[in-house]
Amino acid sequence: MVAAVYGALAAIQDEVYTIDNAHWVVATPEAAARYQFRWVGNIDGQKRECQGRGTSTLVKRDRKWPHAHEHLSA
């Protein structure tokens, strides 16, 4: 499944990805955000775009905040 996702993402050329209206809740060592996203790009020479909502969870480790989980809904 991971290979399929990366293959699909690799097909998008000239991608522009934006996040708006981010709302963060931080309770160290965890943080969560909900936001709206939009991307525009070219797939096989045709303009494509998608927008939706997302949530991300981060966990602080060694003074860094790597992603623990992300969910997107179009």
State the Cα angle at 23 between 18 and 25, rounded to 5°.
135
Residue 7 pLDDT greater than 90, yes or no: no
pLDDT at position 32 is: 96
Q: What does pTM read for this prediction?
A: 0.78
Residue 5 pLDDT greater than 80, yes or no: no
In this structure, what is the dihedral angle of CA atoms 49, 3, 13, 47, given to the nearest 10 degrees? -30
* Of 42, 39, 74, 70, the residue nearest 56 (C-alpha): 70
- pLDDT tens-digit readout, 21-57: 999 999 889 999 999 999 999 999 999 999 999 999 9
Residue 16 pLDDT greater than 90, yes or no: yes
Fold category of 2-73 in CATH:
Nuclear Transport Factor 2; Chain: A, (3.10.450)
State the Cα angle at 36 between 61 and 57, rounded to 5°.
20
pLDDT at position 10 is: 85
